[in-house]
Amino acid sequence: MRNILLLSFLSIFGLHTAFSAEGGVWMTDFEAAQAKAAAEQKPMLLDFTGSDWCGWCIKLDKEVFSQEAFQNYAAEALVLVELDFPRGKDQSAELKAQNKALAEKYGIRGFPTILILSPEGELIEKTGYRRGGAESYVEHIMGILASAG
C-alpha cells in the first residue's frame, strides 16, 4: 500500500517536474516555475533542449546539469525549468503547446539554448553549452547574474 501511495504521489508530482539522471529537480510547468521564482526571489534558468536527440544538449546535461557542483548551486540560487522538444518521448498536448509558445516568445533557434530570467520573468541573458564542466558553468551563471545587478 505504501508503495502505491508513493507511486501515486510521484505520478502527480511528475506532472510539474522532471528529474535528471542524478536526481536534480527541473520544473516543466512554466507558470508554476514563475510563481516559485517570484515567491522565492530567485532567477529562473530555462533549458530549451532536445533531451533525447540533441548531442550538445545531452553533453550539457552530462557535464553540467547532472553534476553535484551545479545541483548544489541551483538548489540554493535558481529555479530550474526544462522545456523539452524530444523526438522519442511522449509529452502531453499542453506541455508541447507551452514549450512551443515559449520557444516562439524567446526566439529559440537551436538547442540547447539556456535563458536566465529575473524572478519577475524578464530576460537577463541567453547562453548555451560551454566547455569547462559544472564549476565553470556555475561561475558563468554567477557572472551573468552579478552583471545584471
d(CA 136, CA 70): 9
What is 17-148's CATH number? 3.40.30.10
User: Residue 42: which H helix or E strand, with range?
Assistant: none
Nearest by Cα to 146 from 138, 127, 82: 138
Q: Where are the domains of the chain?
A: 17-148
Q: What is the pLDDT of residues 106-136, one digit of tens each?
A: 999 999 999 999 999 999 999 999 999 999 9
Average pLDDT score over the chain: 88
Of the chain, the percentage scoring pLDDT greater than 90 comes to 83
Q: What is the pLDDT of residues 67-89, one digit of tens each?
A: 999 999 999 999 999 999 999 99
d(CA 26, CA 75): 10
Distance of CA 133 to the CA centre of its chain: 17
